[in-house]
Amino acid sequence: MQIIKTVSEMRAFINGVRAQNKTVGLVPTMGYFHQGHLSLMENAKRQCDVVVTSIYVNPLQFGPKEDLASYPRDLQRDTEMAKTVGVDAIFTPEDKEMYPGGFDTTVVMGETLTNKLCGSRRPGHFTGVATVVIKLFNIAQPDRAYFGQKDAQQVLVINRMVQDLNINVEVVSVPIVRENDGLAMSSRNIYLTPAQRRVAPILYQSLLQAKEEVEKGQRDATFIYSIVADKIKSEPLAEVDYVELYSYPDLKSIGTLKEKALLAVAVKFGGARLIDNIILEA
């Protein structure tokens, strides 16, 4: 497995792969791997000849009061984990390589998909995401790129960007990987105290409770919200950031569940902000 730090080295690697008529799968990450990341790599390995994983904590997608400086990093650990699933190369550039002096171009997404959920709570976040992703697409030239469904809004935004800008890459969404107690795997779970970790599965429990009501015939959006919000608020260590329900995949507001919908939550446990979601079928 190769560790690649510069754009020129990455392009040389990709040119060598293309010369052999091999397909490329890209797994963009910010590192500090868990099984959710590995599932993306495993899917890429099954579908592509060569798998490239990027590890880059992108400063453009962090707000001024967010956890850029403290975001967990461990390249040696990540490298060993990536080896276990057969990743061929890790691209791990420095900030000065991704955003050299004078960098003055960003990708600004329209508000159709970004003025809600995490987009409304984290101004500029999806501008940062779209900018770094399109740079990675241009650098690695993948046939397919793999993203986790835990970041459902991000997947939809990237899909829209690819469609609108005619980018020649297939975006593959991979199901959420969960701990045994249902907590969605996330690099930010490391921020949880033992007490917070014990109660954090309430996110998924609340979503499942709502799903059960929908399966019984419940269709009222306000009632579905209340099921989730009331469940989470019953836990003193949890602070609800949002509970939102939209049609899926276009993220339009709905009052009555008539079609496939995304039910998503963001919850703070002290300094840790966790997200989760579930797809509801009407």
Residues serving a catalytic function are 37
Query: In 3D, which of 56, 32, 52, 62 has the Cα closest to residue 124?
Result: 62
Neighbours of 193 (CB within 10 A): 12
Structure tokens at 236: 């003193």
Phi, psi angle pair for 248, to nearest 5°: -130, 130
Neighbours of 274 (CB within 10 A): 22
- The rounded distance, in Å, linking the Cα atoms of 144 and 172 is 7
Neighbours of 95 (CB within 10 A): 13
Q: Is there a contact between 31 and 187 (Cβ–Cβ < 8 Å)?
A: yes
Q: Which amino acid is at 142?
A: P
Neighbours of 189 (CB within 10 A): 19
Structure tokens at 220: 């009222």
